[in-house]
């Protein structure tokens, strides 16, 4: 029988997702994703895989659903259990020459939560450091008691030389929401899952795989990166880093660290805060290397049955934002292709405001996160994507913190997208206003918006954050007025407007929302990539 390309790819994926010692094949073994407390995706044929003796017949059953297969010549096997209805707990029974029973298996909604530190930060992180959200997180942990809200956290690991054969860590484990374990969950993922549990009343499982300070290329397969000509410079950059690493490592140890230690001593003497320890140079074991995290922390999860992905990342790509739109889209397409579940939902967070508040319109030069936010906005052009803006969530008392503490609102905004677009629940709005076009009439520009649900509004006074420019390209603050679902902007300094920007800065001053309290996404009209 001829094996199709898709079948070959599926078998290769299954081989890369095994989480057991490969030297032990005599007994039936399962990937440790299929461990006590697991959540399986309902409404789809569920992939289940493991190892056994070559040629051994494997039978799997759960709540009356059954499937059989035969282990291949290497002892690997994979099958799909017929579609399951939400419910549980059940026992998952896998039989060959021996029998394995996985207990307390729930069937419901399964999501992957991934990204960098803003996704990684556990719920308990903010309890001791934030006077507002800390007590709220502590209270949330104290009352956590939901046996049908469960999380599987993937241990950090890299693999520079190719995909690995097992999920990182000694033993994978599904944890239910209890006061003992809830605080260790990703805060964003926990709040997101809690909202789904409350609205859908079915079991919810989150597979959490994230790593602070990592760029999107580390989460993308080498095959996908190499297939796109515009992403090949990523490898050139890393080739140089690896070549320079011995010298940079020596300089770091002999000079950089010594200067830092001297600065720490000086700060202590002067009663000032100590400077942060400089980051070591990137080398062969860096988690920022292209594909290294995909190999170790994404590939082993494939093809576990999921509903979709939530993602919070982008800060680590701000130094090379020009490629982020291509890179981010390539990563999403890569994951979807490898999972072989079609264009599953992929919802992401648009970066929060950060650093000093904008005082004047940014005319040119480096605007940091503004470019990443624009790339994220453009990614909405991909099918079945959604964006939750965090542009208003930074701590006003500490804007230098790149980690907004109000993770509850981040999770809630992501859940609104899922409830509306995936589960057909009635929500008043799932997105803040998105710029859709503008027209010039004399010295005024009239801008239109999608998702102006209930109409537009300005929080705390007159509309702020709009800048306008004429033919000279010089931006000045604009007078802005809301008229229904549109905003009319003008300036006495600009007779013939040519371009408009809104919230175009690291930490902008905009206050445009829809009536449901969701903030407008930053944008600019003076670029070919505008939405």
* Tens digit of each residue's pLDDT (9 = 90 or more) over 106-127: 999 999 999 999 999 999 987 6
Q: Which of 289-293, 316-320, 490-494 has the lowest mean pLDDT?
A: 316-320
Residue 5: exposed, middle, or buried by beta-carbon count in 10 A (0-12, 13-18, 19+)?
A: exposed
The answer to the question of residue 299 being in a domain is no
pLDDT higher than 50, residue 17: no
pLDDT higher than 60, residue 24: no
| Whole-number pLDDT of residue 171 | 59
Confidence of residue 98 (pLDDT cuts 50, 70, 90): very high
pLDDT higher than 70, residue 13: no
The answer to the question of residue 261 being in a domain is no
- In terms of pLDDT, which residue wins out, 58 or 14? 58
State the residue range of the domain holding 467: 434-524
Confidence of residue 366 (pLDDT cuts 50, 70, 90): low
Query: What span, in angstroms and rounded, lies between the C-alpha atoms of 202 and 199?
Result: 9
Mean pLDDT of 261-281: 93
349 close to 373: Cβ distance less than 8 angstroms:
no
Mean pLDDT of 26-30: 86
The answer to the question of residue 491 being in a domain is yes
Other beta carbons within 10 angstroms of residue 469's beta carbon come to: 23
Count of domains in the chain? 1
The answer to the question of residue 44 being in a domain is no
394 close to 352: Cβ distance less than 8 angstroms:
yes
Rg of the Cα atoms in the chain? 25
* Tokens 């980051």 found at: 279
The answer to the question of residue 493 being in a domain is yes
Mean pLDDT of 397-419: 94
The answer to the question of residue 477 being in a domain is yes
Mean pLDDT of 41-54: 96
pTM for the model:
0.92
Handedness of CA 332, 333, 336, 339 (dihedral sign): negative
pLDDT tens digits for range 416-430? 999 999 999 999 999
Percent of the chain with pLDDT over 90: 82
pLDDT higher than 50, residue 16: no
The answer to the question of residue 239 being in a domain is no
3-state secondary structure of 343: coil
pLDDT tens digits for range 138-193? 999 999 999 999 999 999 999 998 998 788 765 569 999 999 999 999 999 999 99
Confidence of residue 131 (pLDDT cuts 50, 70, 90): confident
Query: What span, in angstroms and rounded, lies between the C-alpha atoms of 431 and 248?
Result: 45
pLDDT higher than 50, residue 260: yes
| Whole-number pLDDT of residue 374 | 96
Q: Which of 122-126, 412-416, 489-493 has the lowest mean pLDDT?
A: 122-126
The answer to the question of residue 495 being in a domain is yes
Per the prediction, the chain carries an average pLDDT of 91
346 close to 309: Cβ distance less than 8 angstroms:
yes
């Amino acid at each position: 029988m001829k094996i199709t390309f898709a079948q070959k790819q599926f078998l290769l994926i299954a081989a890369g997702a095994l989480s057991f010692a490969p030297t032990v094949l005599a007994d039936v073994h399962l990937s440790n994703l299929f461990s006590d407390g697991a959540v399986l995706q309902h409404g789809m044929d569920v992939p289940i895989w493991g190892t056994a003796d070559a040629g051994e017949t494997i039978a799997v059953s759960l709540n009356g659903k059954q499937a059989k297969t035969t282990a291949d010549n290497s002892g690997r096997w994979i099958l799909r259990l017929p579609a399951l209805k939400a419910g549980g707990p059940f026992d998952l029974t896998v039989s060959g020459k021996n029998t394995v029973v996985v207990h307390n298996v729930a069937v419901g909604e399964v999501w992957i939560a991934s990204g960098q530190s803003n996704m990684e930060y556990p719920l308990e992180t903010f309890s001791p450091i934030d006077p507002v959200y800390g007590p709220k997180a502590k209270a949330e942990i104290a009352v956590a008691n939901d046996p049908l809200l469960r999380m599987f956290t993937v241990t950090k690991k890299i693999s520079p030389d190719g995909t690995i054969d097992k999920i990182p860590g000694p033993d994978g484990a599904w944890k239910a929401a209890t006061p003992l374990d809830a605080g260790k969950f990703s805060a964003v993922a926990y709040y997101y899952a809690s909202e789904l549990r409350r609205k859908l009343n079915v079991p919810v499982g989150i597979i959490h795989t994230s790593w602070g300070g990592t760029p999107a290329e580390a989460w993308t397969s080498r095959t996908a990166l190499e297939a796109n000509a515009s992403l090949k410079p990523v490898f050139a950059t890393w080739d140089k880093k690896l070549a320079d690493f011995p010298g940079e490592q020596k300089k770091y140890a002999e000079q950089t660290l010594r200067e830092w230690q001297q600065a720490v001593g000086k700060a202590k003497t002067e009663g000032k805060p100590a400077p942060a320890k400089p980051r070591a140079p990137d080398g062969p074991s860096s988690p920022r290397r292209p594909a290294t995290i995909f190999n170790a922390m994404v590939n082993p999860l494939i093809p576990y049955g999921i509903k979709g992905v939530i993602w919070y990342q982008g800060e680590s790509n701000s130094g090379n934002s020009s490629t982020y739109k291509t890179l981010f889209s390539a990563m999403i397409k890569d994951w979807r292709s490898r999972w072989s579940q079609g264009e599953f939902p992929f919802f992401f967070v648009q970066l929060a405001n950060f650093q000093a508040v904008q005082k004047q319109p940014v005319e040119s030069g480096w605007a940091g996160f503004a470019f990443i936010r624009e790339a994220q906005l453009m990614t909405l052009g991909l099918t079945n994507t959604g964006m939750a803006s965090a542009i208003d969530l930074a701590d006003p008392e500490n804007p230098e913190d790149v980690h907004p503490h109000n993770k509850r609102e981040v999770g809630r905004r992501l859940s609104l997208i899922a409830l509306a677009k995936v589960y057909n629940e009635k929500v008043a709005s799932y997105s803040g206003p998105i710029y859709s076009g503008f027209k010039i009439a004399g010295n005024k520009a009239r801008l239109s918006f999608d998702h102006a649900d209930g109409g537009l509004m300005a929080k705390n006074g007159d509309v702020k954050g709009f800048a306008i420019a004429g033919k000279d390209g010089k931006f000045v603050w604009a007078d802005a007025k809301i008229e229904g679902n549109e905003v009319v902007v003008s300036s006495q300094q600009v007779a013939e407007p040519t371009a408009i920007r809104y919230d175009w800065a690291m930490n902008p001053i905009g206050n445009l929302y829809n009536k449901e309290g969701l903030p407008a996404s930053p944008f600019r009209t003076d670029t070919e990539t505008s939405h």
